[in-house]
């Protein structure tokens, strides 16, 4: 995969979740929130999301919603959030379609034609940058751009992309998420569609979406954030995107990541903070301290015995997880922890 822009690889290796005496909603001026698994799931608001976001917003924090989904326009996303009880302006929504449209606009002449393999969100974003969406390889496009097109995307669209790419037209993708959750199961995402074109052409696209820098740059340009907190549920998109962008992150456990995945996370997937849900934005975060018997957080002490992570004590489940993270990440250094944390996680119900 071609990686666009620079990576934030010179950050120190994080070996434990950070503490914060102040509420995160006061320490950071802008929350860059992922949607699925953070704000809603299956179209419905996640528990505590509506109230937590309202409290953070009324306290002065700017809320922006950052999605890799290039199909839906900011208007549509904002309408959905507002319906859920989260009043949102379209300008508060940043999509991978917008990020890729900017990337394309920087590499083609003003007003150029762009062959679209995708949906309305992509067309709207291209027009916003003064580019002209076209449908055929015979329309003399200056670029091909591919974004999630939904179930209605016709197979012939891939053929148009291949014809143009074979002539040397540069190829861009909004994002490369292989799957997309639907109410009926896991469906192929834009990354799977990109693979179709890649296999047929042997070419490589430039990619904009999380975790790559063009998406983070788009969110900073559009929000004007000076001290941003990325809030997400996925380690390899949200948290890695924050790492690459050099900003702090909060992982919430309302989506796809479980405790075992968090303990095994390599440095670029380790969040600054971890909490159960969006209520974590509203308070401080407890310190994890290293003591004689291991790492201590709240009433819990975590340590290594043999090949296992051991958890002793009692208290708030999230504190136990934070202590386990400190042991696992410290043991792993700049790699992945292979120690078994299963028993400790089971005690925490995580």
Nearer to Mg ion (CB atom), residue 70 or residue 115 = 70
The one catalytic residue in 29, 36, 75, 92 is 36
* Omega prior to 153 cis, within 30 of 0: no
Q: Shortest Cβ distance from residue 35 to Mg ion (Å)?
A: 6
| Cα Rg of the chain, angstroms | 21
| Residue closer to Mg ion (CB basis): 231 or 296 | 231
170-208 CB burial, b ≥16 within 10 A, e <16: bbbbbbbbeebbeeeeeeebbbebbebbbeebebebbbb
- Scanning 26-34, 43-51, 67-75, 90-98 for contacts with Mg ion by CB under 5 A, the matching segment is 26-34
Closer CB to Mg ion, residue 73 or residue 254? 254
Q: How far is the CB of 178 from Mg ion (least distance, A)?
A: 14
Q: Is 36 in the site for Mg ion (CB under 5 A)?
A: yes
Determine which residue in the list 37, 74, 205, 320 makes contact with Mg ion, applying CB under 5 A: 37
Identify which of residues 192 and 256 has a Cβ nearer to Mg ion in the complex.
Answer: 256
Residue 233 as a binder of Mg ion (CB under 5 A): the answer is: yes
Residue 238 is among the residues annotated as catalytic for this protein: no
Is residue 349 exposed (0-12), middle (13-18) or buried (19+ Cβ within 10 Å)? exposed
CA trace torsion 214, 192, 2, 233 (10° rounding): 50
268 binds Mg ion (CB under 5 A): no
Count of residues that interact with Mg ion, criterion CB under 5 A: 5
The residue with tokens 């900003």 is 247
Q: Which stretch binds Mg ion (CB under 5 A): 28-36, 48-56, 59-67, 321-329?
A: 28-36
Q: Which stretch binds Mg ion (CB under 5 A): 97-105, 164-172, 239-247, 251-259?
A: 251-259
Alpha-carbon span 303 to 119, nearest angstrom: 50
Residue 34 annotated in active site: yes
Q: Look-up: residue for tokens 């995708």?
A: 118
Tally of CB atoms within 10 A around 38: 24
Binding window for Mg ion (CB under 5 A); candidates: 60-68, 149-157, 220-228, 229-237: 229-237
Of 34, 177, 238, 248, catalytic: 34
User: Which residue of the chain is nearest Mg ion when measured via CB?
Assistant: 37
The helix, strand and coil proportions of the chain, stated in percent and rounded to the nearest 5, come to 35, 25, 40
CA distance from start to end of the chain: 34
**Nearer Cβ to Mg ion (40/295):** 40
Q: State the residues that interact with Mg ion by CB under 5 A.
A: 34, 36-37, 233, 255
Supply the residues annotated as catalytic.
34, 36
């Amino acid at each position: 995969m071609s990686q666009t822009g620079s990576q934030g690889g010179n950050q120190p290796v994080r070996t434990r979740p950070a503490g914060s005496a102040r509420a995160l909603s006061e320490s950071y001026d802008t929350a860059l929130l992922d949607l699925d698994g953070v704000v809603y799931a299956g179209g419905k608001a996640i528990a505590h999301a509506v109230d937590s976001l309202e409290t953070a917003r009324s306290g002065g924090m700017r809320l922006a919603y950052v999605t890799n989904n290039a199909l839906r326009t900011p208007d549509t996303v904002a309408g959905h959030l507002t319906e859920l009880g989260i009043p949102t302006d379209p300008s508060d929504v940043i999509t991978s379609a917008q990020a890729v449209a900017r990337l394309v606009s920087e590499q083609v002449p003003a007003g150029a034609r762009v062959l679209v393999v995708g949906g309305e969100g992509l067309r709207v974003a291209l027009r916003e940058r003064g580019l002209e969406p076209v449908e055929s390889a015979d329309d003399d496009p200056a670029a091909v751009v591919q974004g999630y097109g939904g179930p209605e995307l016709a197979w012939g669209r891939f053929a148009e992309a291949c014809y143009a790419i074979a002539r040397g037209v540069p190829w861009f993708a909004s994002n490369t998420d292989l799957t997309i959750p639907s109410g009926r199961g896991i469906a192929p995402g834009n990354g799977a569609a990109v693979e179709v074109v890649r296999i047929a052409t042997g070419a490589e696209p430039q990619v904009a979406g999380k975790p790559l820098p063009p998406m983070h740059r788009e969110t900073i340009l559009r929000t004007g954030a000076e001290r941003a907190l990325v809030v997400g549920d996925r380690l390899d998109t949200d948290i890695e995107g924050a790492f690459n962008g050099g900003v702090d992150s909060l992982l919430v456990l309302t989506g796809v990541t479980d405790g075992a995945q968090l303990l095994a996370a390599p440095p670029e997937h380790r969040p600054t903070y971890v909490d159960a849900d969006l209520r974590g934005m509203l308070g401080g975060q407890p310190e994890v301290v290293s003591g004689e018997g291991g790492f201590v957080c709240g009433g819990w002490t975590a340590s290594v015995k043999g090949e296992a992570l051991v958890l002793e004590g009692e208290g708030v489940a999230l504190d136990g997880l934070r202590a386990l993270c400190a042991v696992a990440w410290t043991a792993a250094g700049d790699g992945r922890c292979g120690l078994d944390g299963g028993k400790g996680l089971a005690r925490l119900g995580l």
